[in-house]
Amino acid sequence: MNKRAMNSRGQIAIFVIIGILIVGGAIAYFVLRDSVAGVQVPANLEPVYSNFLNCLEEDVLVGIDILESQGGYITIPDFEPGSNYMPFSSQLNFLGNAIPYWYYLSGNNIQREQVPKKSEMESALEDYLENKIQNCVYDNHYQDGFEIIQGSPNAEIKIEREKVFVSLDMDLSISRSEDSIVVSKHDIEVKSQMGKLYESALKIYKQEQETLFLENYAVDTLRLYAPVDGVELTCAPKIWNAEEVFDDLKDAIEVNTLSLRNKNNDFILSDSANKYFVLDLGVDESVRFITSKNWPSAFEVAPSEGPVLRANPVGNQPGMGIIGFCYVKHHFVYGVKYPVLIQVYSEDATEIFQFPMAVVIQGNIPREPLNINLADEIPKEFCKDKNSLMQVSLYDSNLNSVEGKVAYSCLGEVCDIGATSNGVLEDYFPQCVNGFLIVEAEGFADSHTMVSSVDSSSVDVILDRLYEREVELKLDSKVYAEQAIVSFVSDKVSATIIYPEQKSVELVEGQYNISVSVYRESELKISATTSQQCYEVPRSGLGGLVGLTEEECVDLEIPEQILSNALAGGGVQAHYILEGDLQANEIIEINAKSLPTPKSLEELQDNYILYEEQNLRINFK
């Protein structure tokens, strides 16, 4: 009996202990829940904190919208202008909104990429939020007697496929009457498909760079709507107006580009004509491709006689009538460049991620594919295997130590190695034969040096200092202040400016090809003309067999044209620029010669020939 009683008391004691633990846990939860499940804001202060959280979410949503509408950028990269021969700047103006190209050709025909990394987008959104959160409006709360003080913000953003996680460290002090609180950490979760849309945009971009599907559609359009290759049985020449051909091409490219769509789009039809425009992009979202004939573009064709494309007949020459027929064979070579804006839609069409690309046809065929490296978000195995100890020392031309960042490139992969200390970096590199050492230093031109890292070694790199100098343009020894294009091209640094809007360039010592093209407003009017050109063609019947001919005439019509700007001066000059000249002088004076004011298309063509023969005088002061 005593033993049973003791067992009963022991069981009761266990239940009492469990009960105490449960009650204690509940008390601890309610006491400590501020630190476990977030801050418990007093009811009197809750409206202010709710207002703050709403403000925080709105700022994040606005930042997301900017990123999606500007190709993953909030602060867009520095503007790089195009040129007469390459119409693309570094940005596409779409409805007044500047969107950085993910791929374009610079004014001097260099392929460039501006594809942002997701980590860069997160960093940009963090900076944006830290600036905007300071502007939350509490006017109504101030009138109700609240005191609100915000500290310095520090944001951390994580972009996931369908959510954006925000963690903001910032002291927010709220007080009223006897209630007060300081909240230091604010975590919210914003629903957004930006991460998923960005991943799909990367897939589409990569597919375009690998397959050039936009260029292939452009080639099809070119061959369908413009004279490229062909043979026709006729004894009269074939004549086309280049401007009319280009207008037809622009219209066709615009319509055909707008017809392109992803195969998963809901509005796909089953007819074969529609299937031609269906793309297997490997993404689930609806995708839209946009271009406009009013956007910057360039269309060129050769051979041409001014605005006229002509193909002369074969078979109407004396003695050739024995073949019994004439034929016209034509072959024209085109250069076509235009932008396409790619838009990726969320499932509910409430979010659109968009980015532009340049489409380039050179010599009737697509451009060369660009070797791209979109794996920057994914760890590279090559970069992990670092087992060659290398020492890199950076110097300027006077052998002074220079601080910079060092990377190593091999087989298309770029590995960040690190930054120098006192001009020296000693670290392990991945092994590679004939890789490239990439050095970036503030105030110096980027350096690419071929270096093999199979064995440990040391490398000295001499960097070329960049000097920003003003360009002063003269025409016939007189100061010139009208429009001109000035280019400095070298194997180290190249720069093009639109004068006089831009007057400064950054140059290093080296051999340059300097060119100046001076343009002046013109109302050069090339009147419409109709001329008759006659050809000797074989006579029909037996007469042609013995070489007899007859005259056949055709009318050649050239429409009226007005050139608003005409080449009025300039020239080219090879010149070696010494670092001493850049150090000792602030101004590069370029003296160009004027050209005759053209009054006809032939005189304008003569100006371009004279332009190539005219030299420039280069002075430093």
Higher pLDDT, residue 56 or 548: 56
| Mean pLDDT in residue range 230-253 | 84
Return the amino acid letter for 211. T
Residue 474: how many other CB atoms lie within 10 Å = 17
Amino acid at the residue 412: G
Q: Among 318-327, 535-544, 552-561, 605-614, which is the least confidently predicted range? A: 318-327
Q: Phi and psi (nearest 5°) for 106?
A: -70, 170
Judge whether residue 541 has pLDDT over 70. Answer: no
Backbone angles phi, psi at 120, to 5 degrees: -70, -35
Distance CA 129, CA 62 (A): 9
Give the Cα separation of 328 and 230 in Å (integer).
8
Rounded to a whole number, what is the largest CA-CA distance in the chain? 144
What confidence category does residue 149 fall into, taking pLDDT thresholds of 50, 70 and 90?
Answer: confident
Give residue 456's pLDDT. 85
The pair of three-digit structure tokens given for residue 160, joined into one six-digit string: 């996931």
* pLDDT tens column, 468-515: 999 999 999 999 988 888 989 888 888 888 888 889 999 999 999 999
- Asked if 595 contacts 611 with a C-beta cutoff of 8 angstroms, the reply is yes
* Residue of 54, 65, 191 whose CA lies nearest to 133: 54
Cα(439)–Cα(222) distance, rounded to whole angstroms? 43
Query: Does domain 379-462 correspond to CATH entry 3.30.70.3280?
Result: no
What is the DSSP secondary structure assignment for residue 376, as one 8-state letter? Answer: G
Phi-psi region of 317 (alpha: psi -120 to 50; beta: other; left: phi over 0): beta
Phi, psi of 407 (to 5 degrees): -135, 165
Mean pLDDT score, 530-555:
55
- By the 10 Å C-beta count (0-12 exposed, 13-18 middle, 19+ buried), 403 is classed as middle
Give the burial string for 197-210 (b: 16+ CB within 10 Å, else e): bbbbbbebbbbbbe
Contacts of 489 (CB under 8 A, 6+ apart): 108, 512, 513, 514, 515
3-state secondary structure of 198: helix
Helix (H, G, I), strand (E, B) or coil at 527: coil
Calculate Rg over the CA atoms of the chain. Answer: 35
Rounded CA-CA distance 136/170 in Å is 13
Q: What is the pLDDT of residue 320?
A: 40
Split at pLDDT 50, 70, 90, the class of 567 is confident
Domain range annotation of the chain: 46-77+114-192, 195-366, 379-462, 467-620
pLDDT score at 437 = 92
> What is the β-pairing status of strands 103-105 and 111-113?
antiparallel
Q: How sure is the predictor about 6, in pLDDT bands with cuts at 50, 70 and 90? A: very low
* Mean pLDDT over the full length of the chain: 81
**Could you give the residue ranges of the DSSP H alpha helices within 38-154?**
46-69, 118-132, 139-143
Do β-strands 386-395 and 457-462 pair in parallel, antiparallel, or remain unpaired? Answer: parallel
Is the separation of the CB atoms in 256 and 213 below 8 Å?
A: no
**pLDDT band per the 50, 70, 90 thresholds, residue 42:** confident
% residues pLDDT > 70 (the chain): 79
Higher pLDDT, 232 or 372: 232
Asked if 363 and 356 touch (Cβ cutoff 8 Å), the reply is: no
Ordered DSSP codes for 67-89: HHHTTT-SSPPPP----SS----
Mention every residue, 6+ apart, whose C-beta is less than 8 A from residue 604: 524, 563, 566, 567, 598
At 546, the amino acid letter reads V
pLDDT at position 101 over 90: yes
| pLDDT tens-digit series, residues 259-296 | 998 887 544 444 555 688 889 898 989 999 999 999 98
Over 70: is that where the pLDDT of 604 sits?
Answer: yes
Q: Give the residue-averaged pLDDT of 601-617.
A: 82
Confidence check: pLDDT of 323 > 50? no
Query: Of 137-151, 382-396, 541-555, which range is least confident?
Result: 541-555
The pLDDT of residue 118 is above 80 = yes
Classified as helix, coil or strand, 49 is helix
Lowest pLDDT segment from 14-28, 184-198, 227-241, 341-355: 14-28
Check whether 32 has a pLDDT greater than 80.
no
Helix, strand, coil percentages (3-state) for the chain, rounded to 5, are 25, 40, 30
Q: How confident is the model at residue 13 (pLDDT cuts 50, 70, 90)?
A: low
More confident residue, 380 or 459: 459
User: Which residues, in sequence order, are bridge partners of residue 577?
Assistant: 510
Kindly state the tokens that stand for 489. 């091209």
Judge whether 99 and 356 are in contact, CB under 8 Å. yes
pLDDT digits (tens, 9 = 90+) for 162-190: 999 999 999 888 888 888 888 889 999 99
